[in-house]
Amino acid sequence: MKEVVQLSEGWSLTHEGESLPAHVPGCVHTDLLAAGLIPDPFLGQNEREVDWVGRRAWTYGRDLGAADTAQEGHERTDLVFDGLDTAAVITLDGRELGRTRNMHRRYRFDVTGRHGRLHVEFTSAYDEAEFVRLLTGDRPNVYPEPFQYIRKMACSFGWDWGPTLVTAGIWRPVRLERWSTARLAQVRPLVTVTDDAGTVEVHVDVERTEQGEGRPLEVRASVAGAQVRTVVEGDSAVLTLRVPTPELWWPRGYGAQPLYDLDVSLVDTGTDRPLDSWQRRTGFRNVELDRSADEHGTGFTLVVNGVRIFARGVNWIPDDVFPSRVTPERYRTRLRQTAEAGADLVRIWGGGIYEDDAFYDACDELGLLVWQDFLFACAAYPEEQPLRGEVEAEARDNVVRLMPHPSLVLWNGNNENLWGFRDWDWEGSLAGDSWGAGYYLGLLPRIVAELDPTRPYAAGSPWSGSWDHHPNDPAHGTHHSWEVWNRRDYAEYRDTVPRFVAEFGWQAPPALATLRRALPGERLAPDSPGMLHHQKADDGNGKLNRGVERHFVLPEGDFDRWHYLAQVVQARAVAAGIEHWRSHWPVCAGTVVWQINDCWPVSSWSAIDGDGRLKPLYHELRRVYADRLLTLQPSAAGPVLAVINQSAEPWHTTLTVRRMHTDGTVMAERTLDVTVAARTVHRQSVDADLAPDAASAKEFLVADAGSLRAVHFPLRDKEFAYPAPDYDVSVTSAPGAVGGNVEVVVTAHTLVRDLLLQTDRLGPDAVCDTGLRTLLPGERARLRIRGAVETGANAVRAALFCVEPA
């Protein structure tokens, strides 16, 4: 039987002629940090101090003993790297084993009978990229860094939310695999479901040793009680498993996530000895992408097990700029947060990585649909060697690695490159040079069709489906809505109904506790040096400020208020987009918020900040992504009430719609009985006598259905005559609660708009179950807090914010 020996111990890193202990998996920056040789690049402006690290060559070494690779007991020993970052020469006892230039591939070297000092010598990624640039010629991109000339996580070169920390290292596990006769080289399960049965077609490739040539082999496979075996003729075999009535796997909110063990083993039938085995958990489900043309243009609707889905999505970036630090537990925490935000789809963005299996395992369990980009983002990519071969190898490797996961529903060719070619002045400077079209429209769809034909492929995001329409045409396929954040007011999300919004978002600073940790000793101001350093977007603060200023008077010299307002505007902006687009289902079939997470502490579009703290946007996502949503949509003809029911049950509800005065007077009221069929949207205009009078500056509209509330203010906050907010606060320990778990009750005596408890002010790990809340005079909010250090009424009061009169 194949034997596996992990090589995580005993590594060292050479620095200035000295040897440091090295962590494998890991990277140079984290090893230097552990050795106290560099400051933490996440703090202050230390990022600049460590620039030199990415410009040097680095060598990792370890001894490989004679016994590790000896031929006694096994005919072959392979040295297997799951990930090398990036350009390296690997030597054993001074002899070259091979060279690598791709972070996104696995590598295997035959080291049978060889031993001595193992070295992995990394060239600077900059040197490798510049070398390739010389071979292929220069191409346009969005940042002044050479990320498209090397198959390495693009955002490690810096992004509009990420630091430039170009690392190197053995970033995924490395091991010896010792085997005889034959091994399972590749297993590809194709899972399909028909009316009465699930089918798993298992495609197996074997590799034989010299001694194993011609030996009789058998592959056996089993899943959900079904078993098959077959003789291997040559080096491959196909087995078909039929499971009569499998329980179907569903995205969360649509059903359960049953997972079945799929076991494959390889046996030497001459001796009846098992040689190798492979296990994964898989699930039974069908997925289609409906891109048919209709009277609105060209749709983009995911259909899972025959059910058409409005995708409640989020975009995912690497959770740490040093991805080797992301443990399975951290993946699970972040993805659990994602699911609890109400999302049912995660798009892995093309400037990052093909994530660890732990990511997809968690998605399989949580019922999160995964949309995986191939790793191309915001640049023209040369299609010449040595890149072309790497792209093909990497795509083949990762398609096969990830295809057992039922959560994976879509392969996507790239992020914004088809759009960039058309709109970002690339066409002229390219002057006919290759730029990646051959990958997205040729190579990648061919690889998916060959290896993973059960899954849909999209050429890019955004993409209208062909060059007949502009790549970012909202009426056709996927759309990225960035004009609004870049230049306009968030209300303008309501001007279009794209078929699928694959990216849109709004920035806000991270939690205060995150800023304090990241910027020790800084007197915080929106434009203090550390704040500006931890803001990477082009004119990021300008856009943030203009976003606030359209609605509020920009607070001068009051950081806390600026911080609160920027977070409020982020939450309102994203909610405005989602409420509007969801209310236009099924014309619009999904929203994918940019972005759920961060890779370091930074002002960005994220809902969860770089220290894992929740921004108010996170809580707002829970509201706007819930199965049932009530919203009031402004329109030229007056407000429209939209009642959205994405659950499988019809929703009968009694709605109260009130035209209110800020002093609490109800100026008009109507009660409506509404039934919304399963997975549909009910829209109706609000009667004219209920519409608030904008001229009064004191009227607004409130709709309630059970615990759900929608509000509509006809004026921007700075034009609205808010009363000075007045409320009482009481703090009690929840019954049976441990210290630090308290309940805060806020009783409003006036209108209190967008009340927020900033829990991180009560303790660095404190969390609250509630985000922004609007209270009418006399109403109460109950906020449940966990993990507070400070629980006194004064501390709680000081952590509460709300909108104040201009």
Annotated catalytic residue, options 355, 383, 416, 579: 416
Cβ neighbours of residue 305 closer than 8 Å, sequence gap 6 or more: 193, 248, 250, 254, 285, 286
For residue 806 the two structure tokens come to 């201009």
Pick from 355, 503, 717, 754 the residue near ligand BMA by CB under 6 A: 503
Say whether residue 594 binds ligand BMA (CB under 6 A).
yes
Pick from 373, 390, 416, 717 the residue near ligand BMA by CB under 6 A: 416
Shortest Cβ 363–ligand BMA spacing (Å) = 21
Pick from 156, 412, 415, 645 the residue near ligand BMA by CB under 6 A: 415
Binding mask 447-486 for ligand BMA (x = CB under 6 A): ----------------------------------------
Shortest Cβ 152–ligand BMA spacing (Å) = 16
**Beta strands 478-480 and 500-504, pairing class:** parallel
Residue placing its CB nearer to ligand BMA in the complex, 464 or 758: 464
Report the alpha-carbon distance of residue 600 to residue 45 in Å, rounded. Answer: 13
Shortest Cβ 781–ligand BMA spacing (Å) = 33
Shortest Cβ 360–ligand BMA spacing (Å) = 21
Cβ neighbours of residue 708 closer than 8 Å, sequence gap 6 or more: 628, 629, 630
Shortest Cβ 462–ligand BMA spacing (Å) = 10
Report the alpha-carbon distance of residue 742 to residue 786 in Å, rounded. Answer: 7
Question: Cβ(15)–Cβ(32) under 8 Å?
Answer: yes
Give the gyration radius of the chain's Cα atoms. 28
For residue 183 the two structure tokens come to 């091994």
Residue placing its CB nearer to ligand BMA in the complex, 213 or 423: 423
Pick from 82, 93, 160, 205 the residue near ligand BMA by CB under 6 A: 160
For residue 571 the two structure tokens come to 């939450």
Residue placing its CB nearer to ligand BMA in the complex, 416 or 598: 416
Which H helix or E strand runs over 576? helix 559-582
Shortest Cβ 654–ligand BMA spacing (Å) = 42
> Burial letters for 89-108: b for 16+ Cβ neighbours within 10 Å, e otherwise?
bbbbeeeebeebbbbbbbbe
Report the alpha-carbon distance of residue 357 to residue 309 in Å, rounded. Answer: 25
Q: Which stretch binds ligand BMA (CB under 6 A): 58-66, 153-161, 360-368, 401-409?
A: 153-161
The count of chain residues that interact with ligand BMA, using the rule CB under 6 A, is: 9
Question: Cβ(605)–Cβ(668) under 8 Å?
Answer: no
Residue placing its CB nearer to ligand BMA in the complex, 321 or 799: 321
Residue placing its CB nearer to ligand BMA in the complex, 31 or 503: 503
Binding mask 199-238 for ligand BMA (x = CB under 6 A): ----------------------------------------
Report the alpha-carbon distance of residue 54 to residue 779 in Å, rounded. Answer: 56
Q: Which stretch binds ligand BMA (CB under 6 A): 159-167, 420-428, 622-630, 687-695?
A: 159-167
- 47 catalytic, yes or no? no
First-to-last alpha carbon distance for the chain, in angstroms, is 75
Report the alpha-carbon distance of residue 364 to residue 369 in Å, rounded. Answer: 8
Residue placing its CB nearer to ligand BMA in the complex, 480 or 709: 480
Helix, strand or coil, per DSSP, at residue 621: helix
Q: Which stretch binds ligand BMA (CB under 6 A): 26-34, 156-164, 421-429, 670-678?
A: 156-164
User: Can the peptide bond before residue 805 be classed as cis, meaning omega within 30 degrees of 0?
Assistant: no
Angle between helical axes of 387-402 and 444-451 (0-180°, round to 10): 30
Say whether residue 319 binds ligand BMA (CB under 6 A).
no
Shortest Cβ 31–ligand BMA spacing (Å) = 28
Pick from 81, 149, 159, 421 the residue near ligand BMA by CB under 6 A: 159
Pick from 161, 426, 500, 585 the residue near ligand BMA by CB under 6 A: 161
Q: Which stretch binds ligand BMA (CB under 6 A): 157-165, 279-287, 579-587, 627-635?
A: 157-165
Residue 184 forms beta bridges with which residues?
206
The arrangement of strands across the sheet holding 198-208 comes to: 182-193, 198-208, 236-243
Site for ligand BMA, residues 320 to 379, rule: CB under 6 A? 377-378
Report the alpha-carbon distance of residue 83 to residue 104 in Å, rounded. Answer: 7
For residue 121 the two structure tokens come to 């010598």
- Catalytic residue positions? 416
Residues that bind ligand BMA (CB under 6 A): 159-161, 377-378, 415-416, 503, 594
